[in-house]
Amino acid sequence: MSANQITLGDVTITRIWEYYGSVEMTSETFFPESSPHTWKKHSSWLEPHFVAPETRIVNSAIQTWLLRSEGRNILIDTGVGNHKERPYSPVWSRLDTGFLDNLAGAGVRPEDVDVVVNTHLHVDHVGWNTYLDGRTWVPTFPNATYLIPKADFDFWNPVNEHKPVLGRGNQNVFEDSVAPVHEAGLTTLWEDEYTIDANLRLNLAPGHTPGSSVVTLESGTDRAVFVGDMLHNPVQVVEPDVNSCFCEDPAAARATRRKVLGWAADRGALVIPAHLGGQGAAEVVREGSGFAIKGWAPFASYAETAKDAR
């Protein structure tokens, strides 16, 4: 396989693919605050991995980051999942992917997973928390502790009747992908900050959702930050005030993005979002009042991985 694994300090990071392709939204729809000039100005590196050249349809990766740290297997986000009914998110409905095979290809069986981190509880971040066993949704990773931000657990719990920006796009998600692991006693609902181990910690980074969080890696001289949906597309690095159409609190999302990108730029940390295709992650630097991409991580692109897998 192409290079889908890097090591930072004492932590090994492996990229596990579930999906790559169109999200059936144009750049103008997905990022309504963005400037058409920006997409055109940066087209040489935004196309084709992040946006299709002629249709302006956004391309996105659904992937899980597998971390091996202090002898444990840790998953950051669990994608969409198979066989899930998503009537208001049809692009994610009733998928049938080889995600677990891809995880096995990295040497990890479901029972080998020790920790699952859900950076937030959107449809494309919790799906493989569970799988369908007959007619029942059961935990995919039976020996894992599922770390879930309490603010998002409360926000998305249907009994609380919140009205999210996403509308009905998250319908069924809590019931089939969150509640079963909670009822099985596998969840830890954390607030503010949570230490995973000596190399990894969780911090709230609200805005996209009330409980959106980031995982910070500090090991030896290496730094990285897994930012979930703080960034959906690298256009948000060069225009950090641009939100996606799915941000619950736009002002908080902008402030969080600038804060985390600033931290990363000042420390030479790798920024690792949930959904970037191409090489998946980037090192950023300050540029004027914003940021720029200094270089890409050495992960293989989906096209390279698919080619080598044939």
pLDDT digits (tens, 9 = 90+) for 126-139: 999 999 999 999 99
Tokens 């946006």, residue located:
51
For residue 34, which phi and psi values (nearest 5 degrees)? -80, 155
Q: Which of 308, 307, 245 is nearest to 58 (CA)?
A: 245
Statement: residue 301 has pLDDT above 90? no
Two tokens, residue 57: 């349809």
Round to whole Å and give the CA distance between 49 and 61. 9
User: What is the pLDDT, as a whole number, of residue 2?
Assistant: 52
Statement: residue 305 has pLDDT above 80? no
pLDDT band at 300 (very low <50, low <70, confident <90, very high): confident
Statement: residue 114 has pLDDT above 70? yes
DSSP E strands: which ranges in the chain?
5-8, 11-26, 57-69, 72-76, 115-117, 130-133, 136-139, 145-149, 187-190, 193-195, 200-204, 213-219, 222-228, 270-273, 282-287, 290-296
For residue 160, which phi and psi values (nearest 5 degrees)? -90, -10
User: What is the pLDDT, as a whole number, of residue 187?
Assistant: 98
Statement: residue 42 has pLDDT above 50? yes
Two tokens, residue 248: 């619950």
User: What is the pLDDT, as a whole number, of residue 310?
Assistant: 36
User: What is the pLDDT, as a whole number, of residue 249?
Assistant: 98
User: What is the pLDDT, as a whole number, of residue 306?
Assistant: 65
Mean pLDDT of 5-13: 97
Dump pLDDT digits (tens) for 217-269. 999 999 999 999 999 999 999 999 999 999 999 999 999 999 999 999 999 99
Statement: residue 307 has pLDDT above 80? no
Dump pLDDT digits (tens) for 48-79. 999 999 999 999 999 999 999 999 999 999 99
Taking the CA atoms of 56, 98, 104 and 229 in sequence, report the sign of the dihedral they define: positive
pLDDT band at 3 (very low <50, low <70, confident <90, very high): confident
Beta strands 115-117 and 72-76, pairing class: parallel
Least-confidence region, from 69-73, 147-151, 162-166: 162-166
